[in-house]
Structures are given as C-alpha cells and as structure tokens.
A = this chain, B = another copy of it.
Amino acid sequence: MEELRPLDALNAARNKNVMVDLKNGYRYVGKLKSFDIHINIVLDDAEEHYGGEIKRKLGNVFIRGDTITIISPA
C-alpha cells in the first residue's frame, strides 16, 4: 500500500487478507474482493472478531463504508 492516493492502496490489497475495524468495535478479517469510493468493502472467507475473540465465520461479507475506521493487512 504505497501508491499516490489512498484508494490505490486498497487496490493493491485486492485478493490479500485484510483486517477491517468498525466504529462499533467489531473487526472483520478476510480476503479483500472489492471496494468502491464510499469505502464499501466485500471480504471473502471472512471472520468476525470482537473483544479479541472470533465470534463467527461469515464466508463473504459486505461492509458499509461509513461504519469503517481502518483497513490494514492481516
């Protein structure tokens, strides 16, 4: 993730494992499949974490962008 604009960094992370942290304290870990300019995200093979524990395996998941705080490599 070292490109010129923030969305270039997300583009470089496609098909790689990322952690997506939400404003409500939940974290989703999975393979980044797609995103858009609103930072809506789709992960594949995703797990839901809360309070340091895995809560659910979700397969794929659509995450609404305005609920996200950070996205980082897993």
Contacts and interface: CB of A to CB of B under 8 A. Distances in A.
Interface string A48-61: 00000000001111
How many copies of this kind of chain does the complex include?
Answer: 7
Nearest to A58: B72
A40 B68 CA distance: 11
Q: How large is the interface on A (under 10, 10 to 19, 20 to 34, 35 or more residues)?
A: 35 or more
Contact of A59 (B34, B69, B72): B72
A68 B65 CA distance: 10
Contacts of A70: 26, 28, 58, 61-64, 67
A29 to B, nearest CB: 13
Nearest to A9: B42
